[in-house]
Copies of this chain bind each other. A is one copy, B any other.
């Protein structure tokens, strides 16, 4: 126990020193390190793939479920996506040092906000080695140091990837300790990271609800958490019902295990009789099981009844709960009660109700006439993302490079004093 604590603390101290250098790193050096890593992923892929194979074999032998094995797997398509992502991040504008404007105060003092790195980022995540590259490249671009604690099944893969990145940092004149992998994969290491007040500027937990709650309850450092997505689609009176079905099917079934997948449909009573049979047919075609409120079941008697648990559930599976509502007010109240501030959508033709929905619904992404699946850093134009924040402080929604920075005030005077 003592060893984990002191080793994590020593790593955090090195990260803090590296962060001071990274904050002043030339933009060209950061770009170069990211491009080098893109090259190294191609050139040194055999060793990464070998490490990943070992991880996969061990995980399969220990009975890791297939969905988790898929997340652990680094195939050539994943590699190509990571390389493309790295090149995109490398070539994006460097955010550090940007001052959007200098305002001249009445006394002549010029005041602005300069974008600066957060400092040291901690990330605790599960066995998804692609996230190692995505998170550390975003952290480096934003001028930070990062301390990574990944899932135990991915330890060899993560080590291979982090070793490559550290060599690229070194070759570009940047401190290797800007990217460090905590070699301990037990809960004790997470707890130590939670306690690194004064070392970590932010801790980002990504993974299951249990991990996130553990971090939130134990953290003595600021946390940007990614909670579950209980996402709704409200089908308004007078909506284009064909569009509503297409959006619902895409949102539910395109990748049902993601946090931006649709979990509930709310339909206005005036649209229910026509919409529900269309929805039922389309969802049956893609293998989605429906669960309905009593009024839904008047139209679709074969559907299982939805219970209170259904309104609260994040299924992450081919299941969808459906409710008929009297009015848009009832839909908004239902979303306010059961939604998880993640992704909420309306399909409507009515301009005023579209804007009312955009304004009143409290979620990290609110959509009109579009699929909930767009809640993603790439899709929203941020480039890569390090996670999706469902808390409101600092970042609400996908977090890209900019969300790994902050702004400080700068003021330029010529001897200004307060009177």
Contact = CB atoms under 8 A, between A and B. Distances in A.
A202 interface: yes
Interface string A337-380: 00000000001000000100011101111111111011100011
A371 B119 contact: no
B397 A24 contact: no
A393 interface: yes
Interface in A166-219: 197, 201-202, 216-217
A279 to B, nearest CB: 15
A299 to B, nearest CB: 23
B362 A408 contact: yes
Interface residues of A, number: 70
Contacts of A240: 415
A14 to B, nearest CB: 15
Contacts of A243: 414-415
Contacts of A408: 362-366, 396-397
A369 B415 contact: yes
A394 B414 CA distance: 30
B220 A417 contact: no
B119 A411 contact: no
Interface stretch (A32-40, A110-118, A122-130, A310-318): A110-118
30 contacts: A20-B336, A20-B362, A23-B360, A109-B370, A109-B379, A111-B381, A114-B358, A118-B393, A201-B393, A222-B222, A222-B391, A224-B393, A240-B415, A246-B417, A247-B417, A250-B417, A251-B417, A358-B410, A358-B412, A364-B409, A365-B408, A366-B408, A367-B413, A369-B412, A371-B418, A375-B409, A379-B418, A393-B394, A396-B408, A397-B409
A392 interface: yes
Number of copies: 2
A111 B116 CA distance: 25
A66 interface: no
Mostly helix, strand, loop or mixed at chain A's interface?
A: mixed
A415 B364 CA distance: 20
A27 interface: no
B412 A103 contact: no
A105 interface: yes
A113 B106 CA distance: 31
Given A409-B397, A412-B370, A111 B380 contact: yes
Nearest to A398: B409
Interface string A143-183: 00000000000000000000000000000000000000000
